[in-house]
Structures are given as C-alpha cells and as structure tokens.
Structure 1
C-alpha cells in the first residue's frame, strides 16, 4: 500500500494514500470518481488491512468545497465506507475524540489537513481546496474547537498533506482577488508576466490559517509532494478523470 505516513506512534496513525499503478484504478480511493465502486472498496480494504483496522471504521463525508464541519461520534462509524449515500452530507471537515474511527478526506490537488492533540486525544481531517481556503474552513474549524470544545491550539499538531504546488496552481485574476481579500496571502502569491497568471501557494496559505488560529508554527509540517508533478500524485488539473488520495487519521484504542 503506497502511502505517505505522517504519524505512527502508540496513540495515533495518520497519512495519505498515493497513486499506485499496481492497484485497481491506480489506487483510487474515492467512490464519487471511479470506474467501478468494487475497485475502490477493494483499495480501501487493502488500506484497512495495512492500518490494522476494518473497513467499517472508516468515516467519510460528501465533500462540497464548503466550510462545514462535523463532530464524529460512534454512531457515524462506517458512514460512506462502502456507499456514497451513507456518507456525512455537505461536509468538508471531520473531528472526533473517539478511538478506532478512521477519519477520511479525499483530494486530488486540494490541500488535506490532518491534526491531532496529544493532550486531549482530539483528531481531525480537513479538505481545503482553493474554495475551502478562501472560505477559511481551517481557521473556522480551529476557532470552533477553541470556543466550543475548549481546545488549546498550542496542543495541536498539524500535517498539511500532498497537494498542488505553487508552480502548478496558476489562476486568473478572479481567484487571485479572493485570496488577496483574505489579507494575509501576499507572501504566497506571485505573478507570471509571460502567462499573465497568478501563482498561489495554497499549502502555505492554509499553514498561515493554522498559525492565525494559534497553532505554533513548529507544530505544522508540510508534505512537499506536488500532486501534479509527482508520479504518485492524482491531479485533477492534469487529468479531469483522476482518482483521489485518501488522507486519514485514527486514534488508537488505549
């Protein structure tokens, strides 16, 4: 199972699956973009086996580039694991305190955010494509965790997963203006005079949102793998029919 592992200790396991030509549909993990659901379910079963859990521990959302998030409970166990119609609707971030639930997020260029707290055992995943970043889904979720869940941001560790690099994330003025309006993105944008395109670093923008929420910079890591340039990356920009990576985190039982 080809995966970039970000964390594996006695308490947590986290990472992102990568494209693998030896697996069904190149190791595509998403039911919403697949040739046949059976292939994706086989890939997920292999991932479950690799992570020493069962497919029914997966919790998946129907992602819509929203800023909506959901606190996962044991009642959500297995949602979206084998069928799209059981996934958590209209949601782009999941968090839980429960052990033995594999929180899942699907991306092909978008920024996946995986986080955990060593102090209270909180875990979560966020899907932040450029629309989610502009809607500040990461910042909104962390503000919610501070205010509603009374979580101390200095206890959080964040892994920003493989995504489209700044070199390959070129946009027109309409998207540039949306990022510019955030007020803290100037350092993460450059203009290409030849192509008349703006290039935005979505990973660094998301990192800034984590820092604005109070998470210490040295507790945030960024996977430098570009989903467009790296052979193990699924890229929607490069191939509209591309599969999806699955970013995951699970809290192990005590």
Structure 2
C-alpha cells in the first residue's frame, strides 16, 4: 500500500494492485468474485493500522454529491458485508478517533483530508460525475459553514487516479466540466482523435482551493491508475478491482 501520512495523530493511505494477493488486492465487495479474498485484503489494512475491521466504515458509492457524518454508532458498516454499508454516499467525515473511513476507486479521484484544530478527517470519492456535481467543494464548504472549521487549516491528499492523457471524453462530458466555470485550463482537445482530455485531479484540487484550502496544503499523487502496474483502471479493463483509500484520526 501507499502511505500519504502517518504521524501521532492521523494516518492516510491507499492500497495498490498486487498480483500476489487475492483478486490482485481488490478491496471492494461490490466487484468481488471472491468476497472472502476481499475481506482478507481489507484485514491486511486493518493489521497495518493496528485496528479491527469493525472499526472501518464503508459506503455504497453512487457517483453522487452526498456526504455523511460518521459516529461510533456507524463503525463496522460495510466492512464485512456490502448490504450494511452507508447508502448512496460518496464522502464520509468524522470528528471521532479510532474510526477508519474508506473510499474505493479505479480511475476516480480519491481525496483524503484532515484538520488538526477542528479535529475532523474525511474521505471523498470523486469520479468525473462527482467532480461536476462538486462533491469536494460542497463537503469542504459544509465543514466551514456548518461545522465551523477554518478553511486554512485543512490538509488534503489527492490520491492516484486516471491521468489527463488517458482520460479522454466526448463533447458532452467536456461541456459539463466547462460549465463549472473554472476547469477550462485543465482540458485540451486532440484533433486527430476528436477527443477532449480532462485532468480530474487538478479540477478537484481547484475545488479545494475554491473552498479556501491553501494551495501548498494540497498534495497530489500524479500516478496514473491506467499506466501504473500497481493501478486498477476501469477505463483500461471494465472488470477490475478497486483501491481502498483510508483516513483515520488516531
């Protein structure tokens, strides 16, 4: 796995594709051919974190802009069965310690964040649909406006995702990004293929900045999930596993 942050207060990371693990280290039950193998892969993450799977919280992601405030009462949801996961949710946040928040992706942009002074951590799943719906911007503004967190205190980690070179789309998706009003600089047109190329990671980073997060407190992993041998890519192969991105306040 890849660790983005691990100190005395917070830990954030992302699992990687591994040919030697069950289902190549797929961690998502909704695409599992071997659910027991997926649970085994999740258990390795729990072991690394010195936590139990009962401390994990997972959502049934639907490419929405919905977010959910997690408490201790939610621990274990989605960790062992898909049916117990939080419904129709693509972002989770909590103020409580000892809860492992998770999101699952294969090309979509995973976002992990923390705010030390406010005591909040969160994860976001932002595929292109979530990005055009503004899920990251909506959640961060909620945390500022409703939870009263100072935007300048957020630290954000944007994990591996599909690169701009590999994220080619038709005009309909391009128009949706263009309609955001701030994504034009993150797109280009390739005449020979008649396709637009979009940088979803940079668009998400811009959403963080629009919410007030300082530019130098946003870290982007530019590893392409399509190109990397350690990446699961839905664009490359429709039947593929998923990375787990995780964030915890210790």
TM-score (norm 1): 0.98
Structure 1: distance between partners of 2:44 and 2:22: 11
CA apart distance, 1:36 = 1.6
Structure 1: distance between partners of 2:147 and 2:119: 12
Residue aligning to 2:99: 101
CA apart distance, 1:196 = 0.4
CA apart distance, 1:120 = 2.1
Residue aligning to 1:22: 20
CA apart distance, 1:4 = 1.2
Does 2:157 match 1:177?
no
Give the one of 124, 127, 130 matched to 2:128. 130
Residue aligning to 2:156: 158
Residue aligning to 2:62: 64
Does 2:24 match 1:41?
no
Structure 2: distance between partners of 1:76 and 1:24: 27
Give the one of 100, 117, 120 matched to 2:118. 120
Structure 2: distance between partners of 1:197 and 1:28: 31
**1:9-49 CA deviation, whole Å, 9 max, x = no partner?**
00001010000111100000000001121110011011110
Which structure 1 residue ranges, 5 or more long, are not aligned? Answer: none
CA apart distance, 1:77 = 0.3
Runs of 4+ that moved beyond 3 A: none
Structure 1: distance between partners of 2:18 and 2:49: 17
User: Between Structure 1 and Structure 2, how many residues are aligned?
Assistant: 250
**1:139-194 CA deviation, whole Å, 9 max, x = no partner?**
00011111110011100000000000000000000000000000001110000011
Structure 1: distance between partners of 2:77 and 2:116: 26
**1:188-244 CA deviation, whole Å, 9 max, x = no partner?**
000001100000000000000000000000000000110000000000000101100
Give the root-mean-square deviation of aligned CA atoms. Answer: 0.5
Give the one of 76, 90, 108 matched to 1:110. 108
**1:39-74 CA deviation, whole Å, 9 max, x = no partner?**
100110111101111111110000000000000010
Paired residues for 1:199-238 under 5 Å: 199-238=197-236
Structure 1: distance between partners of 2:21 and 2:48: 14
TM-score (norm 2): 0.99
Structure 1: distance between partners of 2:17 and 2:218: 24
Residue aligning to 2:139: 141
Secondary structure of residue in 2 paired with 1:203: helix
